[in-house]
Structure 1
Amino acid sequence: MNTIKHHTVTTTSGPVHVARCGQGQPLLLLHQTPRSWREYEHVLPLLGRGFDVIAMDTVGYGDTPPFADGDPSIARWAATALALMDALGFAAFGVVGHHTGAVIAMEMAAQAPTRVRALVLSSCPYVDAERRARHGQHAVVDGVTHRADGGHLLDLWRGRQAFYPEGDVALLERFVADALRADGRAAQGHLTVNRYRMEDRIGLVRCPTLLIGATADPHAYPAVPRLAQAMPHAQRVDIEGGMVPLPEQMPQQFADVVGGFLVGLPD
């Protein structure tokens, strides 16, 4: 049985908390915001059967503290993830990202094309000028005002409820717990994604790439065809019924798709 072990790793970008499981080729997992490594809690032992799997907490989420100046960017988050892999002694590795984590993973592959040997983008948004303009005109998901009566807890719950499996209280509770731990940064990750100039970076990705589409994710699934067009070398797999919390909702299916892609790559 694969045991999940926790470490705080000192990097040139500051301390980073990781959950680690298994042995084999290194594989970094990047969560959506405002989540934490726990998004992959059930995936880690599954992928750990064939890989040395590292699920990190993005800077400002989970047990990784925010940047001292409080100013994140996708490029900065990606550089921190690369610094983590430096600190762990890995020259080359695979990267899996979901939602925000997928955008960070893409930027890692753009920044370090000789190091990222394989890339899995799960429910990745397509961030271009049109999206940046559109999202600048309305409230962002998870952007709640903390209130003394605790009403913001219900706001967080209801804001996500339609995008989670009906009646799955446990998944929503896990989301709310991570969102509260973000200490006011619950919406910051979405705002950071919406500032990213993906159209300037996506063409720099050269490694083998898999696009995972969760068919019941109304935020990200419509972007899959545009990503596929922009990345003609990428493979694509859709997971029927997958929603916003895909890795937690369907951990076995997620792990099977990711593992099948990675095992099929040439050494």
Structure 2
Amino acid sequence: MTSLSIKKRYADTRNGQMHYRYALPSSPVAPPREVLVFLHKSASSSASYEKLMTHYATRGHPCFAPDMPGFGGSFDPSPEAVEEIETQGMRWYVTIFVDILKQFLASYTNGSGGTSSVHLIGHHAGAALATEMAAVYPSLVKSVCLVGPSIMSAGDRARMRDKYIAPFNRPVADGSHLLKTWNYLRDMGIRGGCGPGSGSDDDDDDERDLYLGLHQREALDHIRAWKGRNQIYGAIWRQDGEKYLRLIQCPVMAMCARDDTLWPYFENVQKVREDVAMVEVKGANFTLDRDVEGIIRDWSTFILDTL
């Protein structure tokens, strides 16, 4: 039996090459499972979804996880593209993502059109992207799972913009931006319960290694995306998330951790849509790595309920 592996490819867009990860079932599943699409947060990359992709691909779901423009292995927006982002907001990202998703679906089905809709999961910025994508392309999206959604009033969005829009880790000659990025991630909850006192010495060593690996991966992604982070944040804080959430026609699930920076706004989702399935998870701003089991437990049931 062929073991499953996550592979990487590039897709051409009019602005540049988009990088994405994908995983296909190692053997056919009957009936075929629907495609899952994973949209990462700022300033991570599609690498943050590898654990979830591995789980679901081994259970028969084709998985697709792109890097946003300005993040991971994808192109950096040109000055002309940045002007378009400032004018079009999140719709600029949505249009590009839908284009490369359709390319992936066509290649996966050999152009047969056999897969017509997908399940979306988006984290933070990816949740904002998934919200607008589902609202604007209802025939393409079968369900939406929002991990750390940012449904806020205009005033709250303005305050978040003022707090997070500054390029805090712009490269500087003395390299101090590298440590600043490392410390920023620590303060955002990447460490969790790792460290001395959490168990035996061996357990501490294993947990510390896992933490350092995650911290290192996220630091590299955040350092790379210091410009892309601000570009998409500007679009997010201009997005009327309430409007798009109301327009979504498919089932919606929302997840958030109490120590996530967006937890204070989590209940806004249900104020807008009482039919949204609300789930509390763990892991601060890094639920995708720190509470994989929690996501799988509830999202799997949610997906099955939409069939």
The TM-score with structure 2 as length reference comes to 0.79
Residues 144, 152 of structure 1: 8 Å contact kept? yes
Aligned residues: 264
Aligned partners of 1:183, 1:243: CA distance in 2, in Å? 21
Which of 240, 249, 252 aligns to 2:290? It is: 249
Aligned partners of 1:141, 1:27: CA distance in 2, in Å? 33
For residue 41 of structure 1, give the secondary structure of its aligned residue in structure 2. Answer: helix
1:107 aligns with 2:132: yes
Q: Provide the residue aligned with 2:216 in structure 1.
A: 173
1:142 to 1:156, Cα distance in 2 relative to 1, 3 A: farther
Q: Provide the residue aligned with 1:86 in structure 2.
A: 102
For residue 72 of structure 2, give the secondary structure of its aligned residue in structure 1. Answer: coil
For residue 19 of structure 1, give the secondary structure of its aligned residue in structure 2. Answer: strand
For residue 97 of structure 1, give the secondary structure of its aligned residue in structure 2. Answer: strand
Residues 31, 99 of structure 1: 8 Å contact kept? yes
* Aligned positions of 1:57-72 closer than 5 A: 57-68=67-78, 69-71=80-82, 72=85
Q: Provide the residue aligned with 1:182 in structure 2.
A: 225
Which of 226, 245, 251 aligns to 1:202? It is: 245
* Aligned positions of 1:1-267 closer than 5 A: 1-11=3-13, 14-23=16-25, 24-48=33-57, 49-68=59-78, 69-71=80-82, 72=85, 73-88=89-104, 89=106, 90-140=115-165, 143-162=168-187, 163-166=189-192, 167=194, 168-182=211-225, 184-217=227-260, 219-239=261-281, 241-266=282-307
**Alignment deviations for residues 141-197 of structure 1 (CA, whole Å, 9 cap, x no partner):** 762232211101111122221222244322221111001222533333323211212
Higher helix share: 2
Aligned partners of 1:131, 1:183: CA distance in 2, in Å? 23
1:82 to 1:180, Cα distance in 2 relative to 1, 3 A: same
Report the alpha carbon displacement of residue 14 of structure 1 after superposing the two structures with TM.
Answer: 4.5
Higher strand share: 1
The TM-score with structure 1 as length reference comes to 0.90
The one-letter code of the counterpart of 1:25 is: E
Residues 141, 159 of structure 1: 8 Å contact kept? no
1:142 to 1:172, Cα distance in 2 relative to 1, 3 A: farther
**Alignment deviations for residues 18-71 of structure 1 (CA, whole Å, 9 cap, x no partner):** 111134311110000111111112111011123111011112211111333242
The one-letter code of the counterpart of 2:8 is: H
Report the alpha carbon displacement of residue 131 of structure 1 after superposing the two structures with TM.
Answer: 1.6
Residues 142, 306 of structure 2: 8 Å contact kept? no
Larger deviation, residues 68-77 vs 153-162: 68-77
The one-letter code of the counterpart of 1:28 is: V
Aligned partners of 2:248, 2:303: CA distance in 1, in Å? 17
Aligned partners of 1:184, 1:115: CA distance in 2, in Å? 30
Residues 70, 229 of structure 2: 8 Å contact kept? no
Aligned partners of 2:45, 2:22: CA distance in 1, in Å? 13
Aligned partners of 2:53, 2:130: CA distance in 1, in Å? 18
- Segments of 5+ residues of structure 2 without an aligned counterpart are 26-32, 107-114, 195-210
Aligned partners of 2:259, 2:163: CA distance in 1, in Å? 23
Larger deviation, residues 160-169 vs 244-253: 160-169
Report the alpha carbon displacement of residue 80 of structure 1 after superposing the two structures with TM.
Answer: 1.3
For residue 51 of structure 1, give the secondary structure of its aligned residue in structure 2. Answer: coil
Larger deviation, residues 51-60 vs 82-91: 82-91
Aligned partners of 1:210, 1:137: CA distance in 2, in Å? 29
**Alignment deviations for residues 53-96 of structure 1 (CA, whole Å, 9 cap, x no partner):** 10111122111113332423311111111112221225311111
Moved over 3 A (4+): 11-14, 136-142
